[in-house]
């Protein structure tokens, strides 16, 4: 299927495994240029090698803790410098720890908010001027 993604630049957060890695594979199959992002460089390198075997295209990668503002800025700069732009941003995160409502204290809620909302806002804020 041709989704018109050939030569589009895609930045995918939390893409060292799971859903993010699977999304990266589909973009690569469509001919997009992909930058993987995640906290662990070794995991990203492994994912990049796996995706190259699967698709024939090797994504670039850059370690980033998306709860850290400066690391998001560095990531977007890397993606922009290596791809010329960022056409598509895929916001993704591993999610907060599992537990019941009663077991979550304020720290857990603040952490979940930082990870699954505020980090996305920050990433969008950095990518939007590139559009």
What is the CATH architecture assignment of 9-130? 3-Layer(aba) Sandwich (3.40)
| CA angle (72 as vertex; 108, 87 as ends), nearest 5 | 120
Q: DSSP 3-state assignment of 88?
A: strand
pLDDT at 97: 78
- From CA 10, how far away is CA 96, in angstroms rounded? 25
Q: Is the pTM of this model over 0.85?
A: yes
21-80: pLDDT as tens digits: 999 999 999 999 999 999 999 999 999 999 999 999 999 999 999 999 999 999 999 999
Which residues are within 8 A (CB) of 45 and not within 5 positions of it... i.e. 6 or more apart?
61
The end-to-end CA distance of the chain, in Å, is 25
Confidence band of 5 (pLDDT split at 50, 70, 90):
confident
Is pLDDT at 20 greater than 80 in this prediction?
yes
Residue 48 and residue 19 in contact, taking contact as beta carbons nearer than 8 Å: no
């Amino acid at each position: 299927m041709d989704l018109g993604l050939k030569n589009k630049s895609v930045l995918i957060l939390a893409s060292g495994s799971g859903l993010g890695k699977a999304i990266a594979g589909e973009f690569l199959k469509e001919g997009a240029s992909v930058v993987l992002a995640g906290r662990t460089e070794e995991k990203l390198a492994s994912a990049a090698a796996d995706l190259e075997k699967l698709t024939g295209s090797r994504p670039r990668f850059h370690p980033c803790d998306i709860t850290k503002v400066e690391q998001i800025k560095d990531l977007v700069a890397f993606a922009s410098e290596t791809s010329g732009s960022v056409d598509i941003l895929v916001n993704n995160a591993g999610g907060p720890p599992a537990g019941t409502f009663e077991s979550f204290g304020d720290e857990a809620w603040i952490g979940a908010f930082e990870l699954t909302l505020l980090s996305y806002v920050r990433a969008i804020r950095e990518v939007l001027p590139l559009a």
